[in-house]
Chain A
Amino acid sequence: MAKQMTGAEMVVEALKDQGVDTVFGYPGGAVLPIYDALFHQNSVRHVLVRHEQGAGHAAEGYARSTGKVGVLLVTSGPGATNAVTALTDALLDSIPLVCITGQVPTHLIGSDAFQECDTTGITRSCTKHNYLVRNVADLPRILHEAFYVASHGRPGPVLVDIPKDVQFAAGTYTGPSNVQHKTYQPRVKGDIEKIRQLVEMMKVAKKPVFYTGGGVINAGPKASMLLRELVGLTNFPITSTLMGLGAYPASGKNWLGMLGMHGTYEANHAMHDCDLMICVGARFDDRITGRLDAFSPRSRKAHIDIDPSSINKVVKVDLGIIGDCAYVLEDMVRLWRSSAAQADKAALAQWWGQIDGWRQKKSLAYGPSKTTIKPQHAIRRLYELTKNRKTFITTEVGQHQMWAAQHYGFEEPNRWMTSGGLGTMGYGLPAAIGVQMAHPEALVVDIAGEASILMNMQEMSTALQYRLPVKVFILNNSYMGMVRQWQELLHGGRYSESYSEALPDFVKLAEAYGGHGIRCSDPNDLDAAIQEMIDSPKAVIFDCVVDKQENCFPMIPSGKAHNEMILADLSDDAGIELGSVIDERGKLLV
């Protein structure tokens, strides 16, 4: 349907046509025409954030919990630069976003005008693609293309920069029908011959392991169902990256727990000792592999990924299958069933025996305390008290994030929102707001640290404005815990600038925003306090005062291999002397 309208109206029309019901944004001079167009309609809801970074993370939370494209709308200059962190975050975690930015009028571009910045230049390397729209005639096509590029292939953020005169200009709007992109046509169906080869490799494997990642989540709930079916059919063990938690249920009998730097002993050893590694939608990140030249030395490796550049990027694999995880898993299940395939049951039984030996290490164990709340205990209680309802968990970044990944049991995909690749402190609260907007009836908890939460604390105001009952569950140990842990392990306990000095009173802060504040420091009161948080109809800040000294274990020390991981030393509260474990080269790593 071709209709005459202004560029600003086209933006709103395109959002409607793309099925967008919620936009996160912040107005400013260069986007006023679009805000005016929003004013005249009711189908797209705008959520006013308090900082553009918050808009980006909220859109990410919305996208990751729904599988839809998240949208943010910000002004030129500082509006755009404030969104850069969130765009980069979405790029690294493959989250589909469309970011619409205002720009100074075309005749002022390049003149250092007020609130001008080179938005497309700045965001070129932190978006999947971006556009500067110089002519209103191109605007409808570009807007629809932006949604197509953001959501097809490996998802990611796409930015559309629209000068103010283009927003005012009149033109012909066309709908999204038949967006056939001339160059960008990613392959979704895997090469069936290669999938057949993989099935053959699986039949003869003696020590197989599934290593799955965020790609399974991005491929939609169907991919998770197929993965569960395949694991059930083969009885292979399965581990997952941070980004892939929930694709296979934590209560499933084949679950080894998360792998990687703070993964479980059994997951990492299974990766190291396996003879067939089946990587589904993960990317061999350095947090996962540890030392590369000692990474799973005796295995054949298969890698399923929608992004051809992911295959052989860091680890050379024996079989690369390019395709969407859901399509490839479907073919694998079908081929396995139709060929009445059998795994090597005797070998598998032996393999499971070996894995059970590793499980006996109980690598997630922690020293209990009757007087102080152990952070791991707090997460476990939070899990027990929330597991029987529809709960979404977001996190900030640091120790609390790893403890949440280790100790909260994720049973479903799309329920876990965390900043994996970029590691963005300040992600969790705005992401929780985005999740709660999409799932008004659900319980949404941001598991936070007292340092991270202050990075985007202003978004409490957003939560209150839209009556979003998000719960901020702060594991308060008065330190940037992961920084402190590394300083303890690598820098002789010189805690340079990692103490959280001059913290606000979080209970009063919650009340100042109009929310509800709870503090708990006694393990005996913890359950009641968590229940109070859950039952509150308001946004809550829960200041959970935990053990200050607790470190996050198990851990693969920097520059070490999977089978060189260290466990918590529960007999000695002074902890582990790691200065000797990590060599000089390891200290160079992050």
Chain B
Amino acid sequence: MNASAPATQPPSPYSSALATSNVETHTLSVLVDNEPGVLARVVGLFSGRGYNIESLTVAEVAHGEHLSRITIVTSGTPEAIEQIRHQLERLVPVHKVNDLTIEKPFIQRELAMIKVRGKGENRNEALRLSDAFRARVIDATTESFVFELTGAPSKIDQFVELMRPIGLVELARTGVAAISRGPETI
């Protein structure tokens, strides 16, 4: 999901010197009121202001208080990321924004379901690889498997690439959820 203009825009005379510094990837945790339209507000902010969304997940985390947690992986210069954080904080239903990448250390996890179709040796190879990656078989037929794999996005990327030549036909990924290490909470 790439909401921004291409990165190869010509430099504008109005564009600030800030834009030339390094692009970083950050993981933001956003605690919001779980009310209608809140996700549209967040996503609309990113598209409207030309920020990137590399991954976005959302689910209710406190049913009684109607709180949802949105995890956004975004990229930009440090100044742009700071601006994104302030813009998110400006939204009325937003309780809290934490930049986990700055506050580190933190853990990122993603879940993927991978459908592989094939017969013969490819089938065995798929099973061996899934074992090596600690993926679980959650559905099986005589000509297919569905594997469930949880891990850092890079691990899932790696598994997916290995599965492609031996029969990967469909892929579903949840996007990244993230939490800080240690006893502290956001």
Contacts from A to B (Cβ < 8 Å): 120-121, 124-125, 128-129, 132, 149, 181-184, 286, 289, 291-293, 307-309, 311-316, 558-559, 585-586, 588-589
Contact = CB atoms under 8 A, between A and B. Distances in A.
A588 B10 CA distance: 11
B111 to A, nearest CB: 30
A589 B13 contact: yes
Interface stretch (B15-23, B113-121, B132-140, B145-153): B15-23
Contacts of A589: 12-14
Contact of B41 (A124, A308, A585): A124
Interface in B90-127: 90-95
A311 B14 CA distance: 17
Nearest to A311: B86
Given A308-B89, A309-B86, A585-B12, A183 B95 contact: yes
A308 B12 contact: no
B33 interface: yes
A128 B48 CA distance: 14
B33 A183 contact: yes
Contacts of B40: 121, 124
B4 interface: no
B25 interface: no
A313 B89 CA distance: 14
B6 interface: no
Contact of B17 (A182, A293, A588): A293
A308 B14 CA distance: 22
Which of A124, A183, A558, A589 is the most central at the interface, judged by chain B CB atoms within 10 Å of its CB?
A: A183
Interface in B35-56: 36-37, 40-41, 44, 48
A526 B40 CA distance: 55
A183 B82 contact: no
8 contacts: A124-B44, A183-B92, A291-B14, A308-B90, A314-B16, A316-B18, A585-B13, A589-B13
B92 A292 contact: no
A312 B83 contact: yes
B2 interface: no
A120 B33 CA distance: 17
Nearest to B47: A125
B82 A559 contact: no
A308 B48 CA distance: 19
B48 to A, nearest CB: 5
Contacts of B89: 308-309
B174 interface: no
Given A124-B40, A558-B13, 10 more contacts: A124-B37, A183-B93, A292-B13, A293-B13, A309-B89, A309-B90, A314-B16, A315-B16, A559-B14, A588-B12
A124 B40 CA distance: 8
Contacts of B87: 309
A292 B17 contact: yes
A120 B37 contact: yes
A267 B29 CA distance: 43
A478 B179 CA distance: 63
Contacts of B83: 309, 312-313
Given A121-B40, A308-B89, A309-B87, A291 B13 contact: yes
Contacts of B37: 120-121, 124, 132
B170 interface: no
A85 B13 CA distance: 28
A308 B86 contact: yes
Contacts of B24: none
A286 B37 CA distance: 31
A292 B90 contact: no
A292 to B, nearest CB: 5
Given A292-B15, A293-B17, A589-B14, A149 B92 contact: yes
A312 B82 contact: yes
Nearest to B91: A129
Nearest to A284: B16
A365 to B, nearest CB: 28
A187 to B, nearest CB: 11
A184 B86 CA distance: 13
Of all A-B residue pairs in the complex, the 8 with the closest CB atoms, nearest first, are A309-B86, A559-B13, A129-B92, A292-B16, A308-B86, A291-B13, A184-B92, A286-B14
Which of B10, B18, B48 is the most central at the interface, judged by chain A CB atoms within 10 Å of its CB?
A: B18
Contact of B44 (A125, A311, A588): A125
Nearest to B19: A292
A316 B20 CA distance: 13
Nearest to B84: A309
B157 interface: no
B36 to A, nearest CB: 7
Contacts of A313: 83
Nearest to A134: B36
A291 B17 CA distance: 10
Nearest to B45: A125
Contact of A183 (B13, B79, B94): B94
Nearest to B49: A125
B92 A128 contact: yes
Nearest to A145: B92
Contacts of A316: 16, 18, 79
Interface string B74-90: 00000100110011011
A124 B41 CA distance: 7
Nearest to B31: A183
